Structures are given as C-alpha cells and as structure tokens.
A and B are shown apart, each in its own frame.
Chain A
C-alpha cells in the first residue's frame, strides 16, 4: 500500500510541476522549440531545475541499500547509442514539436477534459499499445 501511495505522490508532484512550470501548455513548449520565432526560454530553466534536484536527489537516495517500499533499485543498464535510440528519439521529437505535447503533459492535461487532448492521447496510447503488443 505504501508502495502505491509513494507512486501516487510522485505522480501528483510531477503533475503539479508540469502545471506550475507551464510545460502543460503546448504553445509554451512550441515557443521553446521555436528558436527562429517568438522564442520562450522558460523550458530550459524547467529542465535545468529538474536536473539539479534529480541529480542531487538520486545521489543521496541511491546510497540506500534498497528503495523504501520496494526490493531493489531498477536503473537502466544499457549504454549503447544505437539507431533504435536515435531513430525513436527523432520520431518522438517530431511529434513533440508538431503538437507541443509529450506524454506527461498530455496525460496530466486529460483532467481538463478537452477534446484536442483526448485526440492526441488516443493516437499516442494506440501507438504505444501497438508497439508493446506487436513487437516480437
């Protein structure tokens, strides 16, 4: 139960961060990426602050023998920079720029009950499900 509450709390704080930072707003995200237009550098500070807190926090937390409510830390061990990583990232970036939504903000914005958000989410979830279920 504590495992689920800790996860719920993490999601809640993450969502609040997306709202407060303005990352939930696709126009603001696109303005960050629009370096030749009406550039809004806010997102660089969002990432910078998130990186500082995560960097220091991970260092402290990973000194624990195991997570507070689970058996072990699950850290990705892959190090290869391959075509799958870069090709996937390139595709993701294109979609991110086209709509101004990445997965976190789109899911968080679902609570606003707007049709455009649900259209994006339906396509995204269908693609994720397709990938996960069809992959060999």
Chain B
C-alpha cells in the first residue's frame, strides 16, 4: 500500500496556528493547559467535582463537533489508517498508559509545555518523537 502524503506547508501552518489559538483560549478563559490526555484523564478520574468534569466534557464536545462543522462547509476530511486491529489496540493501550504515566501528550508537552519553555515538556517531546520514529521504522521498514 502507498501511504505517501504531500508536504502541505500552508495548511500545516494555518492548522498549527489554530491549535495554538485554542491553547490560548483555554488559558485565557479557564486558566488551563490544553493537554488532551490530561483533559480526558481528569474527566474520567475518580473523586472529581462536577464543575471539574463539566469544562473537560465541554472541551471534548468541541473537539468532536469540529469535523461535523468542517464537513458542513469544507471538503472531505482525509483520514488513512494503515494499522491493523491488533496494532490499533496495542497502540491505544500504549498511548493511554504512556500519557498518564508521562503526564502529557503531543499537545500538553509538545505545544503547551515547550511554549512555556518547560524542561519536562521539552524532554518528553524529544522522547516521544524518538520512540515514535522507532515505532514507525519498525512497522514500515522491518515487519
């Protein structure tokens, strides 16, 4: 299978700026870091107040609403998922445990953390970029 994608500098930059804008909105309005794994983790954590769950649920509702809104006006959304079912399950488990143990994902560490010049954010981002490259090398070029 051919999974190549084109380099899309303009849409990548616009999309990245929107992600940054969203992080700024959540900080300005709610005083929170827009780290998705943290938002989700706090939503399903035990012993959590209703107010705490509510803003998290609202953020996630916004995420899910985005494709619905986009598709009403924009072109189809291209999503190609090369992974098999067992790989998807393994990947989901790794992402779930890894983000909770490491206190963050691409957004929390990679965007919010690095932009605050947090040493933890920088260290985590370098680490998951490296292990992500290893994983892709294994599935694409070894197995």
Contacts and interface: CB of A to CB of B under 8 A. Distances in A.
Contact of B128 (A38, A96, A116): A96
Chain B at the A interface: SS class: helix
Please classify how large the interface on chain A is, using the bins under 10, 10 to 19, 20 to 34, 35 or more.
35 or more
> Most chain-B CB neighbours within 10 Å: which of A50, A67, A87, A107?
A50
Interface in A48-99: 48-55, 57-58, 61-62, 64, 66-76, 78-81, 84-99
Given A19-B67, A76-B33, A119-B89, A25 B79 contact: yes
A20 B11 contact: yes
Interface residues of B, number: 113
A51 to B, nearest CB: 5
Given A53-B24, A103-B95, A70 B29 contact: yes
Interface in B91-143: 91-107, 109-116, 118-120, 123-125, 127-141
> Most chain-A CB neighbours within 10 Å: which of B30, B41, B64, B105?
B30
Contact of B133 (A3, A33, A70): A33
A69 B82 CA distance: 42
A45 B69 contact: no
B87 to A, nearest CB: 5
Nearest to B32: A74
A75 B15 CA distance: 25
B15 A19 contact: yes
Given A95-B95, A116-B81, A49 B16 contact: yes
